[in-house]
Amino acid sequence: MASHQRSGARGLIGLATVGALLLGTPTAAATDDDGPVEAGIFVEKVEDLPEDFIHGADISMVLSLEESGVTFYDTAGNEADLFAVLADAGITDIRIRVWNDPWDSEGRGYGGGNVDVSRAVEIGQRATAHGMSVLVNFHYSDFWADPGKQFPPKAWEGMTVDDKVDALGEFTRDALEDFRDAGVDVRMVQVGNETNHAVSGVSAWPDRARMFSAGSAAVREVFPDALVALHFTNPERAGTFAEYAAQLDQHGVDYDVFASSYYAFWHGTLENLTDVLSHVAETYDKKIIVTETSWAYTLEDGDGTGNIIGSDPGHDRYSVSPQGQADALRDVIAAVNDLGDAGLGVYYWEPAWLPVGPPEQIEQNWVLWETYGSGWATSYAAEYDPDDAGEYYGGSAWENQALFDFEGHPLESLQVFRYVYTGAVAPLEVVRVESPELVVVHGDEIALPSTVRVTYNDGSVDQHAVTWNDDDVAAIDGPGTYEVRGLTESDIEVTAEVVVQPVNYVVNGSFEDSDTSMWTISGAGAAITTTNDAADGTRAVQFWAPEPYEFTVSQQIEGLTAGTYRLSATTQGGDSPQTDERRLTATTSAGTYDADLLLDGWRTWRTTTVEDIVVEDDGTATVAATFTLSGGAWGTFDDVVLERTGDLEPEWPAWDPAQVYVAGDMVNHQGADFKASWWTRGQEPGDPHGPWQEVAAAPDGTALWTPSRVFDTGDVVLHDDVRYTARWWTRNQEPGTSPWGPWETDPA
C-alpha cells in the first residue's frame, strides 16, 4: 500500500518518462521576501545565502562546440549566446581551464576544447562582456590533469625541478598578462588542477610546494587583487584534506582558497564535505570553494560514445532527472554556505558540453570532434597521452550531465542559481522509481522485495506494493544477470536486476567484513580500510608510500574440491611505471598461476583474471597479490574471487560399455578411476562384487579404501582419516566396523 497520501491529482508517470526534460520559462528575479516561486521544479531555499556568493560554471568547451555547430537557446526558445543565457540564469563566474600546448606537431588539437592561453582569453573576454568574473584554471599540462595524470607539458620534459619551478612561474605570469591586457575580469586563479599527488609530474611535497608558490607569486604580481586557489579532490578519503592543508602550511605556500571537487556519485556525503573543509578553513584561515560538481538528468547517450554516468548511480536523494540535478546542485550550494564567511561559492562543471550531433550521425560527429576538439579527446592526443586518450578518444561523455538538453535548450535546473534565494515549487510528479538490485550466490533463495520506493519531485517518498513477473523469476537458473519485470499497485512498471554469483571460495574477498584475520598483509604501504575507491562496497586494500615499497596480500584456502578454478581481482590507481611489478597469483600443489595487475588511472577499474588453475586432491590453494612499486604509486586492490570452473580432465579414458577390457585396464567413470580385475564387457564400474576396482589415493599416496577394491595382507589404507593394515585378503569389508574383521589400526 502507498503509505503517504495526498489530496489533489497525483502525476504518476512510468519509467519511460521519469527522466523527461523539465523545461520552463523562469519567473522574474525574486527576492528573499517573495517566498517560493512557481516553477517546473522544487528547490528548497538556502537560508542566509549571501548575495555575493559565487555561482559559477566551467564552460571551457564553448569555442569548440560553437565551431562544431552547436546552438544554444534562451528560455523563450530563441537562439542565444551561451554567455547571455548563463548570466540571465544567475551565473556570476566562469571557470576556464588552460593547457600549455594542446596541439600536436602538425598543429592538430588534442580535444577537450583545445583550450590554450589564447582561446582561454577569448572565453574570458566574452564572460567579462556579459558581466561575469573569471576563474583561470591552470593545469600546467598539455592536456587533462587529474589525480591519476599530472603529465608535464612537452616543453618541460626532461627539466629539473628547479627548471620546472621557473617555467611554471614564467608561464603563469605570461598567460595572466594576456588576460589582463585583454581586459578580462579575473577574480581568482587556480594553480594546478586536482593536485592530490603531483603537479606537472612533481610529487614530493617540498618540490610541489615550490611549484605552487611560483604560480602564486605570478598571480600576486599580475593580478594583486585576485584570489589564489589550490585544487584537490577526494574529500571522502579520511584525513587527506587535513594532510594537504598541513603540508601547504608547513612549506609556507601563499594561497587564499582551498578548492575541492565534489561529485555526489564519487565523493561521499555532503556532511563529510562540510566537515573536512571546515577543518581547513578554521585551522588555516582559508576560504573555500567547490570548483567542480554536476549531476545527470538522463541516462540517454546523445552522441554515440557513451557517458561517464551510463546507469543510475542509485543515490538515495537524487533522481536522474532535471529535478535530481536541482536537488544535487542546491545541496552543494547549501553545504558550502554552511561554512559561513569561509564559503565563497560553487562551480558547475561543463553544464553546456552538448552533443555535436545525434548517435545516428556518428561518422559526422567523428569529423567534428577531430577537427574542432569538441569531444573529450582526439586521436592526435595519442602522442601525449597514449595510454588513455590514445586508446579511448571520442566525443562527450558528459552531455547527460549538462544543464541544457541535447538540442541546446536550457533545463529548468539551470535556474537553481536563482531559485536558491527564494525556493521554488512545482506540480507534484514522480521523478524516480526504485529498481531493486539483488545479489545472491548460486543456490540461495531469490527473495525480491514486496515494495519499491517511489520518489516525488518535492523529495517525498512512498512505498508502493509491487507484483513481480513469475515467468521472469522462474527463468533464473545458474550464475548470470537477470531482469525481472514488475508492476506497482499504481500501475508503474518497474524492473529488478538479479545477479546470481558463483560461489566465491575466497573468504571476505571484498574486505567488507571487519574481521580480516583470514588475510595476511606483509610489507609496507598497504592496509585494509574504508574508501570510496573500493571496486565493491566501501572497503579495500589501499596503498601508497612516498618512497619505493613492496607488499603482499594473501589468503590460504583449504577444503576445495579438486578441479579447475578461476581467480580474479580488481585494481585502480596510478603513478606506477611499467618497471613496477604487480602480480596476481594462485599457488596449488599443481603449480603457480599468475597474471599482471593494472594501475591505469584513478577509478579506471581493471579486473585481472587467472584462468585454468588446477586444484588437486589436497584441496588447497593460496591466492596472493604482490606489489613492488615506485615511490608515489597509489591505488586500491579489491573484489578477490576464486570460483570453480570445472572438473579435472580424467587421467584415464571414459568407460565404454561396448569395449572389451582385460585385467589391468584403467577407465574413468562418473569422476572415479577404476581398474579391471579380469576380462569384461558391458559391466558398469561401481558394483563392489564386479570386475572393476575403484582406485583412489590420498594426497600422500596412501590408498583410500573403496568397497570394490581388492586388498591383500599388509596393504595400508586410509578410511575416515584413520590408517588401517589388512590382516588378510579382503574386498567390500569396511575398516573399523568389526574388531574381528580383516582390518587392524595401523600403528604408524
Task: Name the active-site residue from 66, 177, 194, 363.
Answer: 194
Is residue 103 included in any domain, yes or no?
Answer: yes
Dump the DSSP string for 601-616.
EEEEEEEEEEEEEEE-
Question: Three cell numbers at 695?
Answer: 582406485
Q: Assess whether 457 and 599 both reside in one domain.
A: no
Q: Assess whether 495 and 567 both reside in one domain.
A: no
Q: What is the pLDDT of residues 289-333, one digit of tens each?
A: 999 999 999 999 999 999 999 988 888 889 999 999 999 999 999
Q: Assess whether 381 and 439 both reside in one domain.
A: no
Q: How confident is the model at residue 26 (pLDDT cuts 50, 70, 90)?
A: very low
DSSP, res 28: P
Q: How confident is the model at residue 7 (pLDDT cuts 50, 70, 90)?
A: very low
Task: Name the active-site residue from 236, 292, 429, 694.
Answer: 292
Q: Which of 448, 470, 501 is the last residue of a domain?
A: 501
CATH number of the structural domain spanning residue 480: 2.60.40
Question: Three cell numbers at 86?
Answer: 548563463
Q: Which of 612, 646, 680 is the last residue of a domain?
A: 646
Q: Which of 501, 535, 550 is the last residue of a domain?
A: 501
Q: Assess whether 229 and 134 both reside in one domain.
A: yes
Q: What is the pLDDT of residues 242-301, one digit of tens each?
A: 999 999 999 999 999 999 999 999 999 999 999 999 999 999 999 999 999 999 999 999
Cβ-Cβ contacts under 8 Å for 316 (sequence gap 6 or more): none
Which has more confidence, 377 or 441?
377
Is residue 42 included in any domain, yes or no?
Answer: no
Half-sphere exposure of 42 (CA within 13 A, CB side): 16
Dump the DSSP string for 95-118.
EEEE-S--B-TTS-B-STT---HH
Is residue 290 included in any domain, yes or no?
Answer: yes
Residue 696 belongs to domain spanning: 660-745
Q: What is the pLDDT of residues 430-470, one digit of tens each?
A: 888 888 999 998 888 899 999 998 988 888 889 999 999 99
Looking at residue 700, what is its pLDDT?
80
Q: What is the pLDDT of residues 565-582, one digit of tens each?
A: 999 999 999 999 999 999
Q: Assess whether 709 and 604 both reside in one domain.
A: no
Enumerate the H helices of 421-540 as residue ranges. Answer: 470-474
pTM of the model: 0.69
Enumerate the H helices of 573-712 as residue ranges. Answer: none
CATH number of the structural domain spanning residue 709: 2.10.10.90
Is residue 538 included in any domain, yes or no?
Answer: yes
Q: Assess whether 260 and 402 both reside in one domain.
A: yes
Q: How far apart are CA 126 and CA 137, in angstroms?
A: 16
In the annotation, is 407 catalytic? no
In the annotation, is 383 catalytic? no
Q: Assess whether 379 and 449 both reside in one domain.
A: no
Q: Assess whether 543 and 478 both reside in one domain.
A: no
Is residue 383 included in any domain, yes or no?
Answer: yes
Do residues 723 and 748 make contact, with C-beta atoms less than 8 angstroms apart?
yes
Question: Three cell numbers at 544?
Answer: 601508497
Residue 708 has pLDDT above 60, yes or no: yes
Looking at residue 35, what is its pLDDT?
80
**336-354 average pLDDT score:** 98
Q: How far apart are CA 549 and CA 507, in angstroms?
A: 27
Is residue 704 included in any domain, yes or no?
Answer: yes
Share of the chain above pLDDT 70, in %: 95
Q: How far apart are CA 478 and CA 499, in angstroms?
A: 10
Q: Assess whether 293 and 337 both reside in one domain.
A: yes
Q: What is the pLDDT of residues 103-123, one digit of tens each?
A: 999 999 999 999 999 999 999
Instruction: Return mean pLDDT, the chain.
Output: 93
Looking at residue 24, what is its pLDDT?
44
Residue 13 has pLDDT above 70, yes or no: no
**699-720 average pLDDT score:** 92
Do residues 375 and 392 make contact, with C-beta atoms less than 8 angstroms apart?
no
Which has more confidence, 387 or 139?
139
Q: Assess whether 136 and 268 both reside in one domain.
A: yes
Cβ-Cβ contacts under 8 Å for 434 (sequence gap 6 or more): 452, 453, 454, 455, 494
Is residue 265 included in any domain, yes or no?
Answer: yes
**212-221 average pLDDT score:** 99
Looking at residue 747, what is its pLDDT?
78
CATH number of the structural domain spanning residue 331: 3.20.20.80
Q: How far apart are CA 687 and CA 423, in angstroms?
A: 83
Strand partners, 721: none
Is residue 687 included in any domain, yes or no?
Answer: yes
3-state secondary structure string across 522-591: EECCEEEEECCCCCCCCEEEEEECCCCEEEEEEEEECCCCCEEEEEEEEEEEECCCCCCEEEEEEEECCE
Looking at residue 4, what is its pLDDT?
32
Looking at residue 748, what is its pLDDT?
67
CATH number of the structural domain spanning residue 543: 2.60.120.260
Q: Assess whether 65 and 173 both reside in one domain.
A: yes
Q: How many domains does the chain have?
A: 4
Q: Assess whether 538 and 588 both reside in one domain.
A: yes
